[in-house]
Structure 1
Amino acid sequence: MNEHEQEDLLPAVTLGHFVMKVQDAEASYRFYIGLGLRAFGTFPGMGVVEMRGGTHLLLFQKGDDQAGALLNSQNGQRPDFSSEKIDLMIAGRTKADLESYRVGLICKGYSPSAIADGELYGHHYFSMQDPDGNGISFYTSHCSDKPV
């Protein structure tokens, strides 16, 4: 296989799982499905939703034996929230795409912030909180044109 053919292949790896501890796994499961993540399933003390690219968001119920074994951590790049954070990227690349997604969330009863003035590393973005107060930032995509 030549170098050009290798460049057209999917990346060798993807993020498999992103773990969050939540107060109510069922409520968080419904919340993230409402954002447009795909329902995967619920299990005792845990919900799993799927993101684009096949990454699974694992929602562990706080106080559950499984969640107790997980270390606390800080994730994400936005300092807007003091608790755990997650950065999500929509499929759209423009500010108009992001605004359309944001308006859709408002129509579903969510309360996102306004889209921030300016860009952050080439992204337009807005933020909101999940049922546990975890910060979520939504960004426009700047993925390459190659399959991801």
Structure 2
Amino acid sequence: MSKAETTTRKSPPKTGDKKKTVAKDRRPPVAIGHVRIETHTVDDTIEFFKALGLRGIFRNDNFGVLELRGGTHLIVSKRDKPVRKGTAAPFDIMVDDIEKAQKKYAKKDFEPSEITSGSIHSSFYIRAPSGHKLKITSSHAGKRAV
């Protein structure tokens, strides 16, 4: 481990205590806690996001919580009417390997669009059961901890 990757600290004072080397936390100091999507079909929307790779945390008839990498929670909440088909989801999903994700989601019959490349990300779209158009985008984090 390089010096830039470590930090030293002293434990509570003890007789003969020595400095301990611990790995430095390289993650950003803040994260997004919660994002929300409203849907007329809570169960189908929860199952859809679980199939994308999110972890189920809580669920009832009108509400669900799923977890993404890094601990961000997606809140799935009940609404009476479907959103207009093609309404952009209020967030996008970032994956490490965009081509692999597109193939995986095609096998799950999510009908992904073609991959397009922008100046920073490559991306494609799939449709959620809520009617939202969900953008799947490539990560640019590289080897950095997120």
Would the TM-score normalized by the shorter structure come out above 0.5? Answer: yes
Pick the aligned partner of 2:131 from 113, 130, 133. Answer: 133
Q: Conserved in 2, the CA contact under 8 Å of 1:23 and 1:132? A: yes
* In 1, Cα distance between equivalents of 2:5 and 2:105: 40
Identity %: 28
In structure 1, the residue matched to 2:108 is 108
For structure 1, the 5+ residue unaligned runs are: 64-80
* In 2, Cα distance between equivalents of 1:26 and 1:82: 19
Change (3 A) 1:85 1:129: farther
Alignment of 1:86 onto 2:91: yes
Higher Cα Rg: structure 1 or 2? 2
* In 2, Cα distance between equivalents of 1:141 and 1:83: 19
Q: Conserved in 2, the CA contact under 8 Å of 1:10 and 1:147? A: yes
Change (3 A) 1:106 1:4: closer
Greater percentage in strand = 2
Greater percentage in helix = 1
In structure 2, the residue matched to 1:99 is 99
- The runs of at least 4 aligned residues of structure 1 exceeding 4 Å deviation read 3-8
Pick the aligned partner of 1:45 from 40, 59, 62. Answer: 62
- What SS does the aligned partner of 2:36 have? strand
* 1:1-148 matches, cutoff 5 A: 9-63=26-80, 81-90=86-95, 92=96, 97-116=97-116, 119-148=117-146
In structure 2, the residue matched to 1:78 is none
Which amino acid letter does the alignment assign opposite residue 144 of structure 2?
A: K
* In 2, Cα distance between equivalents of 1:127 and 1:85: 13
